[in-house]
Amino acid sequence: MAKGKAKIRKKTKKRRRTTQFGREGKCRFCRAKTVLVNYKDLPNLVKLLTPQGKIFSRKRSGNCALHQRQVKHAILRARFMALLPYVG
């Protein structure tokens, strides 16, 4: 750097992070105050699966870590009981 010249920094506005697609901050099970995800609750479990039968990720489904684990176990149990297909 040359003598006598100071770096000038521009002040920028900090953008506030928003959740994707305008979603609320909590997962669907936390909002409903669900203590345990039940394997017999098929309408909710089907929403968390792709047409091929894969489980949506936490980022895609919007679930918290606790409920995502419970969803995983509930889907595995529902598949074992032949309530959900293994492959779509």
Over residues 24-67, the pLDDT tens digits come to 578 999 999 999 999 999 999 999 999 999 999 999 999 999 99
Confirm whether 21 is domain-assigned: no
Confirm whether 13 is domain-assigned: no
Confirm whether 86 is domain-assigned: no
User: Which CATH number belongs to the domain containing residue 58 in this structure?
Assistant: 4.10.640.10
- Please tell me the distance from the alpha carbon of residue 32 to that of residue 46, in angstroms, as a whole number: 17
Confirm whether 54 is domain-assigned: yes
> Per the structure, how many domains does the chain have?
1
Confirm whether 5 is domain-assigned: no
Confirm whether 85 is domain-assigned: no
Q: Is the pLDDT assigned to residue 69 strictly greater than 70?
A: yes
Confirm whether 36 is domain-assigned: yes
Q: Is the pLDDT assigned to residue 1 strictly greater than 70?
A: no
Long-range pairs, 55-61, Cβ under 8 A, ≥24:
61/27
Confirm whether 74 is domain-assigned: yes
Residue among 57, 59, 37 at smallest CA distance from 49: 57
Residue 10: its pLDDT value, please? Answer: 73
Range of the domain at 38: 26-80
- State pTM to two decimals: 0.69
